[in-house]
Amino acid sequence: MHEKRSLPLEVLRYGLIVLVIGFFVFPIFWMVLTSLKPDDAIMVSPPRFLFTPTLENYRHAIEDKNFLFYIRNTLIISVISTVFVVILGSLAAYSFARYNVGDGHLLFFILSTKMMPAIAVILPFFLIFREVGKTGFGQFMHLGLDQHGALILSYVVFNLPFAIWLLVSFFQDIPRELEHSARLDGLSRLKVLRKVTLPLAAPGIAVTAVFTLIFCWNEFLFAYILTRKTASTVTVGVESFFTLQGILWGPVAAAATIAVAPMLVFVLAMQRYMVRGLTFGAVRG
């Protein structure tokens, strides 16, 4: 790893990196390019690289299809879900990491809930929320069908197992000595957690937050079954671009670009933080 660098090897390395970037970026590049194409330049063979760019597709997506409405829903649902996942997940993970609650069995159980195929539980979820939505409490919490709360709760349930497992390894990375001395200084357990442990685990929490947000943002099946219109998310909203006249490729591309943008900004903003945080506990050797 720390060997001397030879020029040909370096050329090879950067050559490979260019290939890697090409592979991962090209489809997105093509999507953005398509979003700027006029209608008659999209479904043509051979594919066209030169064209007069237009914002018509964006206008169509935003004005005619009201796509920002879905972005807004997705934003609300994803952000709130993520906040809940991070809070509940951190508390639980800390407990697993420090106190070994359930001696591994509980941790295993939590991961196992992620293994049930979503299709099999979709109907029970639908029925649960239908009933909850009829109660006063359900209405107050917006937990009915086609309401934001139902989707938020679902996303919290689905992302908690992943988040807890990720966070356990982060918490295990934090030296206990610091907590012990803080305890000896007379701080309560909760204070230690809040003032000492959580700040130290911040990078790990950030990473968990990013992945949770990404998963919520991109979820389709539950959003599709549990919502109709008022709480529909981006992935469901795109469906209205599959028309009887065919898929509206230009507007779909524009919508997809709009949908990716906030994620991208967020991920880029968290980037530095994230990669530092992406160190799993187990690595410290």
Interface with other proteins in residues 25-54 (CB under 8 A): 25, 27-28, 30-31, 34, 40, 42-47
User: Which of 68, 88 has the CB closer to other proteins?
Assistant: 88
When asked if residue 110 is in the footprint of other proteins (CB under 8 A), the reply is yes
Contact 249, 43 (CB under 8 A): yes
Residues 121-140, interacting with other proteins (CB under 8 A): 121-128, 130
Residues 243-262 interacting with other proteins (rule: CB under 8 A): 243-249, 252-253, 255-256, 259-260
> Backbone phi, then psi, for 188, in 5-degree steps?
-75, 165
* CA-atom Rg of the chain in angstroms: 23
CB-CB contact of 260 with 32 (8 Å): no
What the block records as the tokens of 106 is 């509980």
Q: In this chain, which of 57, 73, 78, 154 binds other proteins, going by CB under 8 A?
A: 154
Size of the site for other proteins (CB under 8 A): 133
- The 189-208 contact track toward other proteins, x by CB under 8 A, reads x-------------------
Return the residue matching tokens 């139902």: 150
Instruction: Please report whether residue 184 would count as binding other proteins according to CB under 8 A.
Output: yes
Could you say which of 120, 136, 137, 140 contacts other proteins (CB under 8 A)?
120
Question: Which pair of tokens denotes residue 146?
Answer: 């086609």
Q: Which of 56, 165, 200, 273 binds other proteins (CB under 8 A)?
A: 165
Question: Amino acid letter at 283?
Answer: V
- Least spacing, CB of residue 65 vs other proteins, in Å: 8
| Interaction residues for other proteins, span 219-248 (CB under 8 A) | 219-221, 224-225, 228-229, 234-235, 238-248
Let me know: does 254 contact 58? Beta carbons within 8 Å. yes
Which tokens in the block code for residue 263?
A: 């994620």
State in angstroms the smallest separation of the CB of 76 from other proteins.
Answer: 17
In the list 59, 194, 195, 272, the residue contacting other proteins (rule: CB under 8 A) is 272
Contacts (CB under 8 A) with other proteins, residues 65-104: 65, 88-89, 91-92, 94-104
What whole-number distance in Å separates Cα of residue 47 and Cα of residue 39? Answer: 13
Min dist. Cβ of residue 98 to other proteins (A): 7
Q: What is the rounded end-to-end Cα distance, in angstroms, of the chain? A: 17
* 59 versus 189: smaller Cβ distance to other proteins: 189
Burial 181-201 (b: 16+ CB within 10 A, else e): ebeeeebeeeebbeebbbebb
Nearer to other proteins, 55 or 127 (CB): 127
| Alpha carbon distance 171, 89 (integer Å) | 11
Q: Residue 61: what residue type?
A: A
